[in-house]
Structure formats: structure tokens, C-alpha cells
Structure 1
Amino acid sequence: MKGGFLFSGRFTIFNQLARTKQARQCRCGYSWHHLYKANFQINSSFNIIRRGCCITGEILSGNIAIGMRADLTAIGLTVRPIISDFGFLRNSESKTEDTGLVLFDLPAFEESYLKANAPFHTPIPIML
């Protein structure tokens, strides 16, 4: 039985489907590559009162618009919050400029996870 494994009477074939983070394929073979429009690397995060959680960082590729979703599964969270606003933040001490994305309807646990573990070296995809 080439390319498989026999376990409790069921034969599972492992070499037919790519199950990597980049492939994003389900068992039917459908690919979600056309939904990803940008990559964003998170440097820090903070809360804005009555507006949501803001993540700051840089856009590595693509374009970001209001209404797109930030796919946080790449950094270990299982949410895809909507981007409700964005802007530019200038740091006068280091003379750098970051992009800020305001995430709408992000649960409290995910906000605290972003604050505690930032910066992230893995870029997150931004999707439609």
C-alpha cells in the first residue's frame, strides 16, 4: 500500500492533498488564494476606546481597504475580524511610520493575546 497508512480498518491516503498554511485547501480541492489581497506584519497593538483594537505594523504586499478581514490564524488565533478603519502612525523618537488597522468585533481574549505577544514575525494575510 504505497503512500498510505492502515489504521483500525481504514485506509487513509496522505499524498493526495497539500495541507500547508499556504495551500489553504479543503478536502474538495477548492483553493482560497484568490481571496487573499495583502500581507501585514504586526509590530504592536493597543485599544482605542469605543472603536476596537488597533494593530500596528507594515504592509508587506498588496492593498488594504475598509471591510476586508484580517486572517489571524497564521499567528494562532481562530478569528477573522473585519477591518473597520486604518491610518498611519508616526513615531517621533525613532522617526518611523507604521500602518494602523482597527479591528472590529475582536473578543477580549484575542485582544490580550495580541498585546502580550506582539511583535509577530509571521505576516498575517488580509482577505476579502
Structure 2
Amino acid sequence: MDQETTDYIINYFGNLMTKNEKLALKHQMSSFKSNENPQFRKIMIDKGWISSNPEITNLLENSYEVFKQNIVTRVMTETPEKVFFNNCPKCDKLARTPHAKQCRFCGYSWHHLIVAQFKLNDTIQITGRQFFLIGQIIEGEIREGQRIDLRILGLNKKIKIESIEFALKHQDEKVWEDISLGTNELTEQDKEYLKSIHPFKESLDIIIE
């Protein structure tokens, strides 16, 4: 895999790395930053950011670049469906980040396909009804028939919004109203996956196609 794609996966899908891979990456970065500063290096060692554990350091024995390639090979073998490649709809080249909306190669912009941003806070399956994604609208307007792009969360799906309801929320004596987006287009495995990655860090694009 080329260097650009490798760095894209390492930089934006670090959640798919194993515990030891994350520790080895921290070891590499801390070692590099403190290479010419013994005092800073001692601080990194005391914090455990520079490791002496062979299980960690051996991952880097064949160079940092080989280490990154090994991570990407494993991720793309075990969980390829969880990596979202934000390719340009026109030229199909990889955008700089998963959130980019304009191609750095051909200049094409796909901002017009995104009608709203949705902050996902929770999910719920109501017996005999749809599966609901609950949260707040960050910007734009959401309507039935639009689609929720879940690729940034590791699900290669753009699910149709089949209903919109409101959910009253209570916490710390505060009361507010969230919006609930209902869909029937997720499998049981998809639903369990979404539940497993809570809390959600990324906002979701609401799109038209």
C-alpha cells in the first residue's frame, strides 16, 4: 500500500490498532521528540511513553515504516469494512482527510451533497419499531428520505431516514429535546457495532443522493 494511504489509515483510524500497536506508536513518537534532549527523554521514560518492554519495541525492530505497513496490512485484513476511504466522487482519488469535501487533485467539491450535520449521542431499538439514532442537528435541515452517512463510524452504509421524532432527555436536573432518526436499513450486527463504539466522537453527514 502506498505511503499516503498508509498514513491516512494510521492518522485517522487509530481506534483499529491493538493496544501494543498504540503503545509502540507512542514509543516511536516520544523517542523521536526526545532524541536530542536527555532531560525530556527521562520524562518520557518516567511517564511510560518510552517503553523497554520487548513486546512493544520488537514491533519497531524493522523500522518505523515497516511497522506502519504491518499495522495497515493487519487492519485491512481483519476489519477492512471499518476504514472509510474518502475518495473524490469525480476522480476517485483519496482526499486528505475523512472529513474533506473538496478534492485536492481535480478540485471537485461535493459540499452540495451534504445538507446537514448530525451529532450522534445515542442509539436505541424500540421493540416492534425502527432503530433510532438520537442526537442533535449541528447545522442544516433534516428531512425524511435523506440519508445518514455512517462510513466515518466504520460502517460502509448510507442509511435512509424513514422517520423523525423527538426524544425528551433528562440529566442533572436539565431537560432538553433530542431528535431521533429512525431507520430499518441496519442489520443486527450493525446495531450492535454502533452500540459498542459509544460515545461517538464524529459528527455525521446527512446527505442527498
Question: What TM-score bracket applies, with the shorter chain setting the length?
Answer: 0.7 to 0.9
Higher strand share: 1
Identify which of structures 1 and 2 has the higher relative contact order when contacts are C-alpha pairs closer than 8 Å and 6+ apart: 1
CA drift at 1:48: 2.1
Query: Using the alignment, how far apart are the partners of 1:24 and 1:103 within structure 2?
Result: 29
* TM norm structure 2: 0.48
- Contact in 2 for aligned 1:52/1:106 (Cα 8 Å): no
| Partner residue of 1:75 out of 153, 174, 180 | 153
State the one-letter code of the partner of 2:197: N
* TM norm structure 1: 0.76
Would you say how many aligned residue pairs link Structure 1 and Structure 2? 113
Larger Rg: 2
Which SS does the other structure have where 2:144 is aligned? coil
Q: Could you tell me the percent identity over the aligned residues?
A: 35
Q: Structure 2: where are the runs of 5+ without partners?
A: 1-92
Residue in structure 2 matched with residue 107 of structure 1 by the alignment:
187
> Is 1:20 paired with 2:97?
yes
RMSD: 2.4
Which SS does the other structure have where 2:161 is aligned? strand
Query: 4+ residue stretches of structure 1 with deviation over 6 A?
Result: none
Residue in structure 2 matched with residue 7 of structure 1 by the alignment:
none
Residue in structure 2 matched with residue 96 of structure 1 by the alignment:
176
Higher helix share: 2
Q: Structure 1: where are the runs of 5+ without partners?
A: 1-15
Label 1:17 to 1:52 Cα distance change in 2 as closer, same or farther (>3 A).
Answer: closer
